[in-house]
Structure 1
Amino acid sequence: MVQADLSLPTIEIVEKCCGPQTHSHVFEFRGGVKAKDLKGGTSSKAELLSALRSTREDIKSLNEESKSLNEENKSLNDRMSTVENEMKEIMKLKELFAAQQSHVTITSSVSTEDHCLFS
């Protein structure tokens, strides 16, 4: 056939041998793959609805878990902020106490030195 008419495009040669193309059949020179072969099998409507329902339940459960974890995270962040603020206050008090202690030490050493000088 090809030798009879060398001007025929490849697709016309294939259609003469295999018949006209359809949307459900992909041609290759050695046959073809049908659309149903690419779908991964057939499932009943009931099976598909069951899988959809199960997926929706999984999504709902995961959303609830995510919401719960977000609330827990917020609570922990609030507690951490409170602890950080309390630590800042403790550090201020520690610095104030250290400053008072050094003032008391300096004052008491001056008093001792004065006492030694006047004795």
Structure 2
Amino acid sequence: MGSLKQQLSAAQSVSQDEITKAFFAVFATTDGKRVLYWMLEQCAVYQNAFSGEATAATNYTLGLQAAGRRLMDQMDHCDPTMYPALLLAMKSIRETDAAHAEALAMNAPDTEDLEDDADLA
């Protein structure tokens, strides 16, 4: 039995190649990594699907997770290291974001100073 690539029609093969290229293009940027990770979060892949006796809620979450697994499968199809690299990149991105937030907080005017300035006016 041939590989999946050999079983695809020419149009399907071109379409799959274009999707793969698009995934690599998205993954090449920090913004793209943020979006991919956000999409996985929205698909509840990092949550427990079980909702107790609320089977509809459990089934809904399982459906979301199925979509997330399809996204992860596509990343794996593009490059088996893409998803682990995404997780490592997100660690670095979160650290950068935290440092940026801390710098903003350090440079933000103190709210007490603003209140004092308002009293003087």
TM-score range with shorter-chain normalisation? Answer: 0.3 to 0.5
Q: What TM-score comes out, normalization by structure 2 length?
A: 0.34
Structure with the larger strand share: 1
Structure with the larger helix share: 2
